[in-house]
A and B are shown apart, each in its own frame.
Chain A
Amino acid sequence: MKAQFTEQLAHLEKLIIEMGSMVETQVSSTIQALIDRNIPLAMAVMQNDHKVDELEMTIDEEVLSILALHQPVAVDLRDVIGISKINGDLERIGDHAQNIAESVKVIVENNQRITVDYIPKMSAIARSMLKDAIDSFIHKDVELAMSVCKRDDDIDDLNKYLFADILASMIKDPQVIPTSMEVIRISKNFERIADLCTNICEDVVFIRDAKSIKHSKEHQKLL
């Protein structure tokens, strides 16, 4: 029975890593589409989102099956619950990558230009946070997970600065409003990706150390 559980848990971990890899590719592709103003690549991201959704459902079923058949406890329970939550977070990250791809399509089709330099910085931070969040899960590396949480503040700040700058430019020249709205949307999506990476890392801390650092001063203390 234990061997069967170990095998099923290993399979679940393999699936969630596959999910992480798929979502990472979606985020990288959407960033590349943004940089290259590449509509076919943006379209590919939009079309591939259903694969992320399907894998999410497969993982949900696997989690349900493990809970029903094996009733895991302690670290095994934390592992399964953590994976279930990470699964949901990764699926949402996939949705945000799709949202960005949609904005890229609108911007390129309307021959608009993004002039603010916050977006490249935010995309770089979001991409690195996602990579490290997935790595921290694979290696159960709490230090790496905590460093990801720390970077969330940087992206929050950039989102705020971007909004202030864009608002000023929209007041100055209402013609930039359509492009600015897409830029705000892109910025908000990167900011949400970073938030979800933070959630994943909080789950890694929960899995390894049985500590919940969400919504607590503990979070700040550990940083």
Chain B
Amino acid sequence: MIDKKTEIKSEASADKHLSKSEAEPQNDFSGGINLASTRSRTKIVTKDVNMFYGEQQALINISLEILQNEVTALIGPSGCGKSTYLRLFNRMNDLVDGVTIQGQIWIDGKDIYHKDTDVVDLRKKVGMIFQKSNPFPKSIYENVAYGPRVNGENSAEKLDEIVERCLRKAALWDEVKDRLKISAYSLSGGQQQRLCIARALAVDPDVLLMDEPCSALDPIATQKIEDLIKELKHDYTIVIVTHNMQQAARVSDKTAFMWLGKMIEFNETKKIFTSPDQKMTEDYITGRFG
């Protein structure tokens, strides 16, 4: 019988949060990377994560360590679990009926599936950009100001500062500074996507999750987003799902290849795209399957 009710099983004990040092799993996917030297930069850790949609297992024993201020790309054929895995980081899968999650996920050493975790706070900290831009039916200004306003920021001066800062960070300010009050829908697709990034930045996140952020964009708009990702990684940790392998190669520091819910290989992007350790990774990135 499929359990229709969302069930979250966190194996972290309910009565304690793990400290950062305790949150370091035995990582089988270090890919030759010296993890000891990167401990202080660890941002996200997942250990033995399994996820089920009802009885169907979507993720199988995934362990991974994502470093701060790096771009990590998730690649793999459709249905391999990339987006499912990405959505675990801000608990978006909680919204899906019949989902069961096992294993442990820490961000900054905190178990995000702990019963005391405030999901709203988590989602402020871990922003998400989707495949299709989804601005609110409001002005450009209001799209960016919306999050801070909901969080209680009412000072017009402060909101102006946030809107300008975030639009600048999203490389959109120069294009829209004279028309902040017009509808966000009047922007081009690429501009709308950068507006969504600005909106995500406005609530001051640490982590940005991007689920195929360029798949609906033309090459010029894609290049702008890719340039933006390179800039943003100085201030944020970015995890990006992409079907475009050249994009993964261009923008990411590390790449994880997934297949049928399993993490097949995780390594430096340069290594993955020149001499991957796993034959399956090589076959996938060279187009021999998938």
Which of A's residues lie within 8 Å of B, judged by CB?
1-2, 5, 71-78, 210
Contact A74 B287, beta carbon cutoff 8 Å: no
Q: Which residues of B contact A74 (CB under 8 A)?
A: 272-276, 281-282, 285-286
Interface check B34, CB cutoff 8 A: no
Contact B275 A78, beta carbon cutoff 8 Å: yes
A154, B9: Cα distance in complex, Å: 68
Contact A71 B275, beta carbon cutoff 8 Å: no
A-facing mask of B259-290, CB < 8 A → 1, else 0? 00000000000001111100001100111100
Interface size on B, residues (CB 8 A): 14
Q: Which residues of A contact B246 (CB under 8 A)?
A: 71
Contact A210 B274, beta carbon cutoff 8 Å: yes
Given contacts A71-B246, A74-B282, contact A1 B287 (CB under 8 A): yes
Contact B249 A73, beta carbon cutoff 8 Å: yes
A189, B274: Cα distance in complex, Å: 35
Interface check B245, CB cutoff 8 A: yes
Q: Which residues of B contact A2 (CB under 8 A)?
A: 287-288
CB-CB contacts below 8 Å: B186-235 with A: none
Contact partner, B282, options A1, A5, A75, Cβ 8 Å? A75
What would 30 A/B residue contacts be, using CB atoms closer than 8 Å? A1-B287, A2-B287, A2-B288, A5-B287, A71-B246, A72-B286, A73-B245, A73-B249, A73-B273, A73-B274, A73-B285, A73-B286, A74-B272, A74-B273, A74-B274, A74-B275, A74-B276, A74-B281, A74-B282, A74-B285, A74-B286, A75-B282, A75-B286, A76-B286, A77-B273, A77-B274, A78-B274, A78-B275, A210-B274, A210-B275
Q: Shortest distance in angstroms between A207's beta carbon and chain B's nearest beta carbon?
A: 11
Nearest A residue to B275, CB-CB: A210
A73, B245: Cα distance in complex, Å: 9
Which of B246, B272, B286 has the most chain A CB atoms inside 10 A of its CB? B286
Q: Which residues of A contact B245 (CB under 8 A)?
A: 73
Residues of A contacting B: mostly: helix
Nearest B residue to A73, CB-CB: B273
Q: Which residues of A contact B286 (CB under 8 A)?
A: 72-76
Q: Shortest distance in angstroms between A206's beta carbon and chain B's nearest beta carbon?
A: 9
Q: Which residues of B contact A72 (CB under 8 A)?
A: 286
Q: Shortest distance in angstroms between B284's beta carbon and chain A's nearest beta carbon?
A: 9
Nearest B residue to A76, CB-CB: B286
Q: Shortest distance in angstroms between A104's beta carbon and chain B's nearest beta carbon?
A: 44
Which of A2, A74, A76, A78 has the most chain B CB atoms inside 10 A of its CB? A74
Q: Which residues of B contact A76 (CB under 8 A)?
A: 286
A76, B286: Cα distance in complex, Å: 7
Nearest B residue to A210, CB-CB: B275
Q: Shortest distance in angstroms between A45's beta carbon and chain B's nearest beta carbon?
A: 39
Identify the 9 closest CB pairs spanning chains A and B, nearest first: A210-B275, A2-B287, A73-B273, A74-B282, A76-B286, A73-B285, A74-B286, A71-B246, A74-B285
Q: Which residues of B contact A73 (CB under 8 A)?
A: 245, 249, 273-274, 285-286
Q: Which residues of B contact A1 (CB under 8 A)?
A: 287
Which of B246, B281, B282 has the most chain A CB atoms inside 10 A of its CB? B282
Nearest B residue to A77, CB-CB: B274
Q: Shortest distance in angstroms between B172's beta carbon and chain A's nearest beta carbon?
A: 29
- 20 additional contacts, CB 8 Å, given A71-B246, A74-B274? A1-B287, A5-B287, A72-B286, A73-B245, A73-B249, A73-B273, A73-B274, A73-B285, A73-B286, A74-B273, A74-B275, A74-B281, A74-B282, A74-B286, A75-B282, A75-B286, A77-B273, A78-B274, A78-B275, A210-B275
A12, B276: Cα distance in complex, Å: 24
A2, B284: Cα distance in complex, Å: 11
Q: Shortest distance in angstroms between B1's beta carbon and chain A's nearest beta carbon?
A: 43
Q: Which residues of A contact B281 (CB under 8 A)?
A: 74
A189, B149: Cα distance in complex, Å: 78
A71, B285: Cα distance in complex, Å: 11
A194, B281: Cα distance in complex, Å: 37
Q: Shortest distance in angstroms between A9's beta carbon and chain B's nearest beta carbon?
A: 10
A26, B282: Cα distance in complex, Å: 38
Q: Which residues of B contact A77 (CB under 8 A)?
A: 273-274
A76, B245: Cα distance in complex, Å: 14
Q: Shortest distance in angstroms between B73's beta carbon and chain A's nearest beta carbon?
A: 13
A5, B287: Cα distance in complex, Å: 10
A73, B287: Cα distance in complex, Å: 9
Q: Which residues of A contact B273 (CB under 8 A)?
A: 73-74, 77
Q: Which residues of A contact B287 (CB under 8 A)?
A: 1-2, 5
